[in-house]
């Protein structure tokens, strides 16, 4: 899912997210798991300066940035009806990697200014999960930092889903989600 870009567009992002859920629910689709991934464009709030963000990245203190992350703030502090609907029943694995945007392509440097406009490094690329059960294990949620082709870093998740079949056989699905190059790989493995 690609949501509207730019600082100050939180409401637009929520409206599009809500519209997506409305269409999804209107089609009576019922799944045990739903993964919504893409450039969701959630931004680091202006409560942190670019220098503070870069210092936190250097020290690998990502919690400082996440405490000032638009999506994190909405999930923790904003109980308005639109936000509750926007984030309805979705969670994200813990983040332990640097912001995924805005890099100078083909480098490890962030582009923190464009046309005199401040650009705060942000966690724009996300994988959000909704599940009817808690039968999943998130093995890894990170970036592919060696892929430097764009101003974003791809994110991926390695997830094990435990399922019951209709005749109560248990099997495991390993799902590897790699976002940015839109590669989605499913590996099914039967447990005996």
How far from 158 is each of 42, 93, 126, 185, CA to CA, in Å? 22, 11, 14, 10
pLDDT band, very low/low/confident/very high, at 168 (cuts 50, 70, 90): low
**10-190 has CATH 3.30.70.1230 classification:** no
Domain residue ranges in the chain: 10-190
Quote the pLDDT of residue 7: 85
Which residues, at least 6 apart from 141, have a Cβ–Cβ distance to it below 8 Å?
92, 93, 94, 95, 96, 127, 155, 156, 157, 158
> How much is the average pLDDT of 142-167?
86
Cis status of the peptide bond prior to 102, with omega within 30 of 0:
yes
pLDDT at position 27 over 80: no
Can you give the pLDDT at residue 68? 96
């Amino acid at each position: 899912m690609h949501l509207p870009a730019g600082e100050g567009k939180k409401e637009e992002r929520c409206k599009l997210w809500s519209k997506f859920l409305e269409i999804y629910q209107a089609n009576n689709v019922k799944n045990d798991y739903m993964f919504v991934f893409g450039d969701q464009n959630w931004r680091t709030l202006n409560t942190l300066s670019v220098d503070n963000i870069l210092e936190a990245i250097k020290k690998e203190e990502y919690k400082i940035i996440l405490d000032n992350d638009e999506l994190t703030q909405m999930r923790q502090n904003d109980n308005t009806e639109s936000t509750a609907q926007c984030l309805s029943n979705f969670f994200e694995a813990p983040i332990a990697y640097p912001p995924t945007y805005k890099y100078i392509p083909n480098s490890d440097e962030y582009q923190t200014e464009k046309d005199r406009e401040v650009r705060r490094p942000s966690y724009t690329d996300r994988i959000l999960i909704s599940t009817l059960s808690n039968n999943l294990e998130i093995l890894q949620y990170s970036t592919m930092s060696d892929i430097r082709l764009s101003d974003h870093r791809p994110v991926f998740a390695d997830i094990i889903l435990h399922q019951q079949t209709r005749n109560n056989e248990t099997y495991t699905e390993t799902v590897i989600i790699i976002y940015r190059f839109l590669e989605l790989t499913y590996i099914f493995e039967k447990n005996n």
